A and B are shown apart, each in its own frame.
Chain A
Amino acid sequence: MRLHNYTLLYISIALFFIIGVWASIFYIQMLDEIYDSIDDTLGNNKALIIKKSKTDTTILYKSDFEESNYSIKKIDAASAKKMKDVYVDTLMYMANEDDMEIVRLLKTVFTINHVDYYELNVISSMVEEDDLMEDLFYSLFWLYGILLVSIFTVNTLVLRKVWKPFYSLIQQLEHFNITKSAFVAPQTKVHEFKLLNKSIESLLKKNSELYISQKQFIENASHELQTPLAISINKLELLSEKNDLTEADMILLTAAIENLQRLTRLNKSLLLLSKIENKQYADETTVAVSSICKRLSEDFEDLAEFKNIQISFEKQADLNIQINADLAEILCSNIIKNAIVHTDNGGFVTISVKQHSILIENSGDKALDSEKVFQRFYKNATKKNNTGLGLAIVKSIADKYGFELRYSFMDKHRIEIIFSK
């Protein structure tokens, strides 16, 4: 639900009750005022009729209302003593409407010379309450509707203007990339948005700094590790050249060297990753990916043959892309090597170069998690010796150039790099 619909919902609910309560109070007060005013008129009429009866005694015999608004009836003194003035609503036949209608009636007594007592009924037409209520209801209904429409319109216009910096902020955040973009807070006069901008700016700044320092740390650590690694491997190599070592010694040495080499590989991969992310491979040329893949498929033949893997290369089109030449080499070799390394003995690897993509397929028995396959250190538990960075490097190169990577499984693993649409 959008923010302004949300406010509108609450405003409409609140208005409904406010107008309802207000209407009831208004109605009661208005009715009260009407009765008050009618009763005053009746009182006044009463006084006028009594006054008139002093001079015109004929009216004393007017026992029906007929065309006028009063009737007079002679009563005995005893019952007259008991009576008081009463104002009541009563039903009366109205000739024009041919129906019974509510009228206001004043029942009172008066006397002439304290001898004759008369009962006087004065009537006055009343507002029809149901009509009044209906009118009021319709008016309020329209008021409610118009209010809502105006609030909606004003809200929409105002909110659109007021929240503009907010939406532009959201849009910026959506496209924010810690490795690339700098964050520029949208201009605003609203205090809350200024605050929001400020907090986001400082948050992003902190994050960027953290990201950079972490990246720097990885790079520095990798650099610093290189020399001791080199020294260790070389010392062990020198040791292994000594002729007085036994086979058992040699086996120990070999294991030590192998593990150091593994560490070196890991280190190199991490360095490579941070270099790619640091944009240290800037210069681009047109690279014939198809010929790189063809050459690589031949270079890897020995490895494939050793694992008894059928490796085949199929060129459906010449594929030339604009890329850094070293990265093109790394991209292709990593993806092909990954396929060979992860194919079980006796399987197959197929490399197909198409018009806009490379497709690498290799045999395998179950699908990998396509979400995680390109993540760092996502590895198959059974392959203990690989760095787990090969496809992460592929991904980081693909990200750098905006290539799309797809993993799918259809009786075999399929990894596709789509260079352009």
Chain B
Amino acid sequence: MKILVIEDELSMQEIIKETLEKESYIIESATTFDSAIDKIVSYDYDCILLDIMLPGGSGLDILSELKKLDKASNVIIISAKNSIEDKVMGLNLGADDYLIKPFHIAELTARVKSILRRKSLNGKNEVEIKNVKINFDDRTVAINNEEVIFNRKEYDILAYFISNKDRLVNKAALAEHVWGDYMDQANDFEFIYSQIKNLRKKLKDHNADIEIQAVYGIGYKLHVL
């Protein structure tokens, strides 16, 4: 899987690169409008991460260009501007998702994976980790081929962990992803523990080959047994 990161901030670019390389993707990058245009014209990418504000032009123009080239799929806009107009315009121009800086790297990984899954050849939006199978379209989970019922939050947590398999997910990232944006001001993310506890219990009761481990005080990690 080849991903193009169009981002002028080098540190940001490095972070995205390092994060996604852990998932074994091939990452290429462009820092300016012109170099980005060069790359998208010359090559095909499975996913493009696009910053709106670029030296030499707007990321939205790159989107238009992609649309003209008929390549405007699998674009995630990364913007520091939490502006509804930009979001609407970006999505109208063919972007698939809109991620606002600052974001958690777990969130980035989850969004990229979600887009790539939708694009996957077999068309099945599914992930299987040992005896656990999760279908992202139907929002169903089967353990040992037997469907297990999770409530909305348990499912969201599990899906998030599966997208971030073997990686540390900090509590703030999880809270924001599952409980929504306004939870970011809840100040204390301990409240997520009760849902994690229920999720762990269900996984254990159904003999799943995965478990959710606490990592010191910082967060959790999906561990494959």
Which A residues fall within an 8 A CB radius of B? 223, 226-227, 229-231, 233-235, 237-238, 240-241, 247, 250-251, 253-254, 257-258, 261, 264-265, 268-269, 271, 280-281, 299, 302-303, 305-307, 326, 329-330, 333-334, 337, 341, 383, 385-387, 390
Contacts and interface: CB of A to CB of B under 8 A. Distances in A.
Interface string B159-185: 000000001101011000001101111
13 contacts: A226-B102, A231-B11, A238-B18, A250-B217, A251-B217, A254-B218, A265-B185, A280-B83, A303-B186, A303-B191, A305-B194, A337-B182, A383-B187
A251 B216 CA distance: 7
B80 to A, nearest CB: 5
B168 to A, nearest CB: 5
A258 B102 CA distance: 13
Contact of A250 (B15, B81, B182, B218): B218
Nearest to A383: B187
B190 interface: yes
B203 interface: no
B41 interface: no
A60 B190 CA distance: 138
A26 B12 CA distance: 98
A268 B15 CA distance: 21
B32 to A, nearest CB: 17
Contacts of A387: 185
A336 to B, nearest CB: 9
A240 B153 contact: no
B170 A257 contact: yes
Interface in B50-82: 80-82
Contact of A302 (B81, B101, B194, B218): B194
Contacts of A268: 82, 184
B195 interface: yes
A304 to B, nearest CB: 8
Given A230-B103, A241-B168, A305 B191 contact: yes
B9 interface: yes
Q: What 5 pairs across the A-B complex have the smallest Cβ distances?
A: A230-B102, A306-B191, A333-B182, A385-B187, A250-B216
Contact of B187 (A299, A326, A386): A386
A386 B187 CA distance: 6
Contacts of B9: 227, 231
B84 A326 contact: yes
A264 B172 CA distance: 12
A247 B216 CA distance: 7
A324 to B, nearest CB: 9
Given A250-B217, A306-B193, A226 B185 contact: no
Nearest to A223: B80
Given A234-B102, A254-B216, A302-B179, A261 B185 contact: no
Contacts of A341: 185-187
Contacts of B104: 233-234, 237
A382 B167 CA distance: 35
Interface in B92-107: 101-106
B186 A257 contact: no
Given A240-B218, A247-B216, A303-B186, A226 B179 contact: no
A381 to B, nearest CB: 15
Interface in B138-160: 153
A305 B195 CA distance: 11
Q: Which of A247, A306, A341 is most buried by chain B, counting CB atoms within 10 A of its CB?
A: A306
B27 interface: no
Nearest to B193: A306
A307 B191 contact: yes
A334 B182 contact: yes
Interface string B193-219: 111000000000000000000011110
Contacts of A238: 15, 18-19, 105
Q: Which of A237, A265, A268, A326 is most buried by chain B, counting CB atoms within 10 A of its CB?
A: A237
A334 B185 CA distance: 9
A329 B182 CA distance: 9
Contacts of A390: 185
B217 A230 contact: no
B37 interface: no
A254 B219 CA distance: 9
B188 interface: yes
B192 interface: yes
A234 B105 CA distance: 6
Contact of B179 (A264, A299, A305, A307): A299
A202 B83 CA distance: 34
Contacts of A233: 102, 104
